[in-house]
Amino acid sequence: MQVLDGKALAQTIKEELKAEVDAIRQAGGKIPHLAAVLVGDDPASQVYVRNKVRSCEEVGFRSTLIRRPATITQEELLSVVEELNADPDVDGFIVQLPLPGHLDEEAINLAIHPRKDVDGFTPVNVGRMTLGLEAYLPATPNGIMVLLERYGIETSGKEVVVLGRSNIVGTPMTILLSRKSNPGNATVTLCHSRTKDLAEHCRRADILVAAIGIPEMVTADMVKEGAVIVDVGINRVEDASRKRGYRLAGDVNYDDVKGKVSAITPVPGGVGPMTIVSLMMNTLKASKVK
């Protein structure tokens, strides 16, 4: 069994990005600048944003962290977005989700200018991706595509099952894997909470992408012999034996399936680091747009 080590690959790509940024700096060019907006005190969001800022520092990007209280109004947050849209020095920015319940996430997302949408969530970028045009691709799906490419996982003609239909992972994953590209050219089935005979669908998969948000839902009896597993899930599971009182688990029962599959991403250390490095790649790309 091959472990698809996203942490190690992300570090390699960061070194490649740093070399490119160093060359830009020596040539007197513009250093990529990523901004992040963090609303409230959600612990997971704080960790994610901190990791993104640290990654910017590692590759030599400029980064700006904009903190706002959970009590911010919709109008105030929209004003922050408009300021970032208008700032010529900021190449791309993200508004960290989830937002507090009184805020309209869809309206905030729609307010982000497509050319600064390095998370790849706005309708313009999603539409261009769907048509196979140049676009900022959603960070997690793009990170998975890079992972598959760098590890030489063949996708052409393969049966792929994607568990989960979110706009952030599941739906764009089906588009990227089915279009004419490498990786790509796969036959893709999208499964979700209303899918009948879910286990039977999974057993047909040469490649299974699990992004359904249920801890260790996928077990060995649901997996084809020799399948490739991409586990997008990251869930907190209570565990009294751990100092923190919990452990991190994916959507796949790693210990149960590892003897049956040919390759698998670990949790943590698989898809997560690739998501962040994909954001870096989009930001570098944005910095080159005239």
Q: Please give the Cα distance from 283 to 281 (Å, whole number).
A: 5
Q: Which among 146, 158, 139 is positioned nearest to 55, based on CA atoms?
A: 139
Residue 119 annotated as catalytic: yes
Please check if 178 is assigned to a binding site: no
Active-site residue (options: 14, 91, 96, 117): 96
Q: Which among 225, 223, 214, 215 is positioned nearest to 192, based on CA atoms?
A: 214
Please check if 234 is assigned to a binding site: yes
Please check if 236 is assigned to a binding site: no
Active-site residue (options: 14, 52, 158, 224): 52
Active-site residue (options: 91, 116, 117, 119): 119
Please check if 165 is assigned to a binding site: yes
Which residues are CB-contacts of 156 (< 8 A; sequence separation ≥ 6)?
Answer: 182, 183, 184, 185, 186
Terminal-residue alpha carbon distance, the chain: 45
Residue 96 annotated as catalytic: yes
Task: Answer for the pair 122, 114: CB distance below 8 angstroms, yes or no.
Answer: yes
Q: Are strands 187-191 and 246-249 parallel, antiparallel or unpaired?
A: unpaired
- Known catalytic residues? 52, 96, 119
Residue list, annotated binding site for NADP(+): 164-166, 234
Residue list, annotated binding site: 164-166, 234
